Chain A
Amino acid sequence: MESRYRLQRLLFFKWLCYSLVLLLGAALQTTPGFLTIGEAKPVLILPICMAVACIEDPYQGAWFGLAGGLIWDWTAGRVPGLLAIGVATVCFFASIAVVLILRINHMNFVLLAAAGTWLVVSMDFVFNYWMRSYVQPQVEYLSRILPIVVFTAALSPFMMMLIKRIQKKFSPEE
């Protein structure tokens, strides 16, 4: 009974920590001027969600991605749902990829985060820029979207390290 209680407590604190990291990431992501290089500012919510998805199972990852995406929608002032669905889908397939074919190491996670970020920000670009027929979408894409992808991917190992640390701290074996 006691061990079951302990297990539940560990699980609770683990997800609490994940959530706090997500909130911190969301706050930093929208902080004006924070980590801004030229036009590019990294997206922190996405790699945090992907790291959780890669460490936990696909369904938990997808739910966490959904929550992260909704926070992103909310902080970006977008119609709630689009980014949430995007992030949840990316997290789910990233987790599947880890279960079936990929080993989690820094390089693989950087590539995974780059692919996931590219998909989500490109989707946002298509719906919020390209489909509105603004001129020179390719210039905007190259000068703004691609640097965001690169910047986010470069920072993603730190998110993975942090999430791994939390997972290790609250794993039942400890």
Chain B
Amino acid sequence: MKDFFQTTRFKVLLAVCVVLSGIMAYAGANGRLQSAPQELLTVALVPLQKITAIFSNGISGVADHFVHLDDVMAENEALQQENADLRKQLVELDRYKAENEMFRSANNLKEEHPEYTLLPGFVIGRDPLDQFYSFTIDVGTKHGVQRGNVVISEHGYLVGMVLDATYTSSKVVTILNPTLNASGMVSRTRDSGLVTGSDWLASEGLCLMTNLPRSTQAAVGDEVITTGMGEVFPADLLIGRVTEIETESTGQSMQAKIQPGEDISSIKQVLVMLDTGTVVAESTTQTAEQSDEEG
């Protein structure tokens, strides 16, 4: 008998009893004595049921698949093809839409500046280290772009200037950059000044108009345009609106903060203003090359 208490069988039995006692005590304490074994069974069974259900559904699904496999595959193929076609159409539609809007704006701008040809370009690159939001566009010398070409937005606002043009892309320096200066004028009062980027305003997306006369009547909300002096930027290009006017540190003139008409930091499409002469020369060269090839 003494040996019996030492046997494994007894210990297992004792353990089972202890567990059962525990279960009963738990059930009794919670007033759910009758459902306790059922709960325990459920706990053990549910995962198993889930597995079998999945297995069962899988089998019936597989069987179903095999029964109608040909139909399903044909339908799937047709739908995939249709889906791919629709997606392609959607992408083309988006592009046509964007181009259409841009060409409409470009057409209006072209009437205002007949001496320029407007070339649309998409912004394809921005460097994380550039504090003044310079960017790269997808048109280059191949399309007639040259260093110094003026870049505007589709709504006609000045964006910047081509700093460097490669065969297929061009780097644009924006009006937020302090190295870019444009002769500007407050449209309403005809007060002129120098529009330039500012290191302390660039992060806010603003530029600065300096050298305004002390007697200026310019006010917040006035439009600022280019004067065309210096022959770098054409006259009457929109730049932006005055947001604040203050006296310059020298005290001799006034300066205005300008909110450019376009958000330079996130602009996606631009128009490059090509001199008509450049485009004519470019097309003449292309025609000559074509005739050489044909000859």
Chain A contacts with B in 76-131, Cβ cutoff 8 A:
76-77, 121, 124-125, 128-129
Answer yes or no: B128 CB below 8 A from chain A CBs.
yes
Partner of A31, one of B125, B134, B199, B200: B125
CB A135 to nearest CB in B, in angstroms, measures: 5
Nearest Cβ on chain B to A72's Cβ, whole angstroms: 8
The reply on B203 being an interface residue by CB < 8 A is yes
* Contact string against A for B residues 266-278, beta-carbon threshold 8 Å, 1 for contact and 0 otherwise: 1010000000000
Map CB proximity to A onto B113-150 as digits: 1 under 8 Å, 0 otherwise: 00000000001111111110011100000000000000
The answer to whether A30 touches B127, judged by C-beta atoms less than 8 angstroms apart, is: yes
A124 to B129, CA, bound (A): 8
Jot down 18 A-B pairs with beta carbons below 8 A, ordered by A: A29-B127, A30-B126, A32-B123, A32-B124, A32-B266, A32-B268, A43-B128, A43-B129, A77-B130, A77-B171, A124-B129, A128-B131, A134-B178, A134-B199, A136-B200, A140-B131, A144-B203, A148-B129
A30 touches B129 (CB 8 A): no
Q: Cβ of A40: which chain B residues have Cβ within 8 Å of it?
A: 128
Query: Residue A143 at the B interface, CB < 8 A?
Result: yes
Q: Which A-chain residue is minimally distant from B172 (CB atoms)?
A: A77
Asked if A30 contacts B136 (CB within 8 A), the reply is: yes
Interchain nearest-CB distance for B282 vs A (Å)? 23
Contacts of A143 in B (CB 8 A): 203
- B→A interface (CB under 8 Å): 123-131, 134-136, 163-164, 171, 178, 199-200, 203, 266, 268
Per-residue interface assignment for chain A, residues 120 to 162, with 1 indicating a CB less than 8 Å from any chain B CB and 0 otherwise? 0100110011001011100010011000100000000000000
Which positions in A face B, CB cutoff 8 Å?
Answer: 29-33, 39-43, 75-77, 121, 124-125, 128-129, 132, 134-136, 140, 143-144, 148
- On whether the beta carbons of B266 and A148 are closer than 8 Å, the reply is no
Q: Choose one: B129, B134, B135, B171; the contact of A121 (CB below 8 Å).
A: B129
CB distance from B139 to the nearest CB of A (A): 15
Residues of A within 8 A of B203 (CB): 39, 140, 143-144
B78 to chain A, nearest CB (A): 35
Contacts of B125 in A (CB 8 A): 30-32, 75
CA distance A129 to B127 in the complex (A): 15
Give every chain A residue within 8 A of B130 (Cβ-Cβ): 76-77
| Contact A41 B136, CB 8 Å, known A32-B268, A77-B163, A136-B199 | no
